[in-house]
Amino acid sequence: MQTVNGTYLSKYLSATNLFAKNKKILLHDYNVTGFFIYLCRYYLNVSLKPSETMKIGIPKEIKNNENRVGMTPAGVSELVKHGHTVYVQHTAGEGSGFSDDMYSEVGAQVLPTIEDVYATADMIIKVKEPIAPEYGLVRKGQLVFTYFHFACSRELTDAMLKSGGVCLAYETVQPADGSLPLLTPMSEIAGRMATINGAYYLQKTKGGMGKLICGVPGVRPAKVVVLGGGIVGQASARVAAGMGADVVITDISLPKLHELSINMPANVNTVYSSHNNICKEIKDADIVIGAVLVPGDKAPKLVTRDMLKLMQPGSVLVDVAIDQGGCFETSRPTTHSEPVYDVDGIVHYAVANIPGAVPNTSTMALTNATLRYAVALADKGWQQACREDPALYKGLNVVEGKVTYKAVADVFDMPYEKLEL
- Residues recognised as catalytic: 149, 323
Cα torsion 203, 193, 134, 334: sign = negative
CB 168 within 8 A of CB 392: yes
Residue 128: is it exposed, middle or buried by C-beta count within 10 angstroms (0-12/13-18/19+)? buried
Question: In DSSP terms, which residues pair with 265 in a beta bridge?
Answer: none
Quick one: residue 78, left, alpha or beta (phi over 0 = left, psi -120 to 50 = alpha)? alpha
